[in-house]
Amino acid sequence: MHAHRSATDGAIRLLIALLIAWLLTGCAGRELATRDEAGAISIDRALILAEARRSLGIPYRYGGNSDHGLDCSGLVRRAYARAGIRVPRTSRAQFKALPRVNEARPGDLLFFATAGGRRASHVGIYLGDGEMIHAPGRGRRVTTTALALDYWQERFLGAAAPAP
């Protein structure tokens, strides 16, 4: 009888632990899921990524949208304009207006709540291989970053795919 009780207690503890883990992941927000398919990129996405890469090293400037300085949403507008795709000016407006996807592909937009709360305050362009290009903030330059970092995982809101 004692062995049966121990097995039952262990099963109950495991069930409770799984339930708690499930509840906590529900509170953590959306999962940052990506899909990289070699050779499966549209010409629009190729143009977006090429322009984003050309922007590497440009200094951050709030409201900037030129070679003299870019902010995160200015980088997005610039890259998407290269492919002839118009997007709203701010990360918040982009997040509200653009079509969401469950898995980001290269060229898709990734939105984050970096200013606290649950509102989009930062956007980057997914490069593939678990990296994005973005304009990180004052005193920095357009750069790439790994999405596996806890910072990005904890602040991720969702992905959008304005490009075909």
10 Å Cβ neighbour count for 92? 17
At 51 the pLDDT is 98
Q: Which residues pair with 125 in a beta bridge?
A: 109, 133
Q: How far is CA 60 from CA 8, 32, 137, 160, in A?
A: 59, 25, 6, 23
pTM of the predicted model, to two decimals? Answer: 0.79
pLDDT tens-digit series, residues 44-94: 999 999 999 999 999 999 999 999 999 999 999 999 999 999 999 999 999
Active-site positions? 72, 122, 134
